[in-house]
Amino acid sequence: MQIIERNQIEALETLDEFDDTSVDGVVEYQELVSNHGDIPKKLYLNENHPHYNDMLYYAQVDGVIVIPTTGKTKVC
């Protein structure tokens, strides 16, 4: 039986309160890439996209050119 210390309980309580919306951004980015079949060359990213900053970051990490747009978010 593992004994859980007080500081571990406090950390777990903090994690319960933590809302990591960046996970949604990476999941959506990965879906776009997966549907494309490979790492795309360009990401047209809607300027008002709820995960704009996260998707921008992941695209840049992959070396994808990001083009802000007022249209639909898509890859090519």
Residue-wise pLDDT for 31-51, tens only, equals: 999 999 888 999 999 999 999
Q: Where are the domains of the chain?
A: 22-75
Which has more pLDDT, 24 or 43? 43
6 DSSP assignment: H
* Sequence letter at residue 52: Y
- The percent of residues above 70 in pLDDT, for the chain, comes to 72
- In whole angstroms, what is the distance from residue 48 CA to residue 35 CA? 22
Identify the burial level of 45 via C-beta atoms within 10 angstroms of its C-beta, where 0-12 means exposed, 13-18 middle and 19 or more buried. Answer: buried
pTM of the model: 0.72
* The pLDDT of residue 72 is above 70: yes
